[in-house]
Amino acid sequence: MVKKISLVIDELTGCEGCKMSLLELIEPLLDSIMRDEIEIVYAPILLDAESFDHADIALLAGSIRNSEDLEKARWIREKVDILVATGACAYIGGIHGLGNLFTWRDLVSGVFGNVNHEVADEIPSLLEYTKPLWREVNVDYFIPGCPPNPDTIAKVLDGIKRGLKPHEIFEARTVCDECPLKREEKSASKVLRVIDTPVEQSTDRCLLEQGYLCLGPSTLAGCGALCPKKGVPCIGCYGFVVKPGESFDNAIARTIASIGASFKIEPPERIDDEILDTIGTFMKFILPSFFIPRIIK
């Protein structure tokens, strides 16, 4: 008889979207549970269990924003064999990582006005900045995406079962490889924004070549090019392709380099004004994984 795999599902700071994505997998998951292959031992969203002793795999979503997250991440890391960073927040920092452009004091006073920053002992205190899991604990596998495509989750779980390494699960394929739009090897001479000039519904031309800022060329494949297919430029939620042994900085740099080369804007200095929000465009999800993860004063 095959050994039963024990599973932990939990979430740190995040939007719970990753769990919704996981629920789409419920049928195959239920099948495995019925066949006694998988056992869920700890999952606050599903079960009443308040603790667990040991588990094989933990699907941990969300990023580390406050002291409770940090404690929880370390607690789960100690008790499981394989920790899987699930979703963009756990893997690279996530969209709320853009909050790192402000200090936490600015964030609090920006929302609540002039309040006393001394918080009570019972409430978890905010950390200096949002961190992806890898900055605090060892991560064995990752599931990218905001939220992850159910197929991607299934692919990773299958890969773990077969004992593959993370870079063997994901080949270095990009969204462009999955995208049906046609390239004509042309470059755009100005940056278009969807909000000003909507994409033609029947278009079959590459969005980047039309002038929309699409991060497809360097974003990891797996979503099936959902957005470009419907005429929305890719925003890079799957994270950039990171080759084995490479840092996130290099992946970010490669993205900037490819966009910088594909827009023929004259004079070249104007590209920053054309893009308007450079940091929000290139680092919508990946800022906490950059070598400067937050604003330095």
Single residue of 6, 252, 286, 289 touching other proteins by CB under 8 A: 252
Q: How many residues bind other proteins (CB under 8 A)?
A: 32
Q: Which is nearer to other proteins, 136 or 274 (CB)?
A: 274
Distance in Å, CB of 202 to other proteins, minimum = 31
Distance in Å, CB of 215 to other proteins, minimum = 13
Residues 6+ apart with CB under 8 A from 193: 212, 213, 276
Q: Is 172 an interacting residue with respect to other proteins (CB under 8 A)?
A: no
State the Cα–Cα distance between residues 87 and 73, nearest whole angstrom: 15
Q: Is 79 an interacting residue with respect to other proteins (CB under 8 A)?
A: no
Distance in Å, CB of 96 to other proteins, minimum = 17
Q: Is 292 an interacting residue with respect to other proteins (CB under 8 A)?
A: yes
C-alpha pair distances (Å), 214 with each of 20, 129, 160, 263: 26, 28, 31, 12
The DSSP element (H or E) to which 6 belongs, if any, is: strand 5-11
Q: Is 297 an interacting residue with respect to other proteins (CB under 8 A)?
A: yes
Q: Is 28 an interacting residue with respect to other proteins (CB under 8 A)?
A: no
3-state secondary structure of 146: coil
Distance in Å, CB of 152 to other proteins, minimum = 27
Concatenated DSSP letters of 31-72: HHHHTTSEEEEE-TTT------S-EEEEEEESBEEEHHHHHH
DSSP count for the chain of H helices, then E strands: 13, 7
Q: Which is nearer to other proteins, 64 or 259 (CB)?
A: 259
- Rounded to 5 degrees, what angle do the CA atoms 189, 204, 240 make? 70
Q: Is 192 an interacting residue with respect to other proteins (CB under 8 A)?
A: no
Q: Which is nearer to other proteins, 180 or 267 (CB)?
A: 267
For the record, the structure tokens of 246 come out as: 């490479």
Give the number of other CB atoms < 10 A from CB of residue 54: 11
Distance in Å, CB of 195 to other proteins, minimum = 20
Single residue of 81, 158, 177, 272 touching other proteins by CB under 8 A: 272
Q: Which is nearer to other proteins, 58 or 98 (CB)?
A: 98
User: What does the binding site for other proteins look like in residue numbers (CB under 8 A)?
Assistant: 101, 249-250, 252-254, 256-257, 259-261, 263-269, 271-272, 275, 278-279, 282-283, 290-292, 294-297
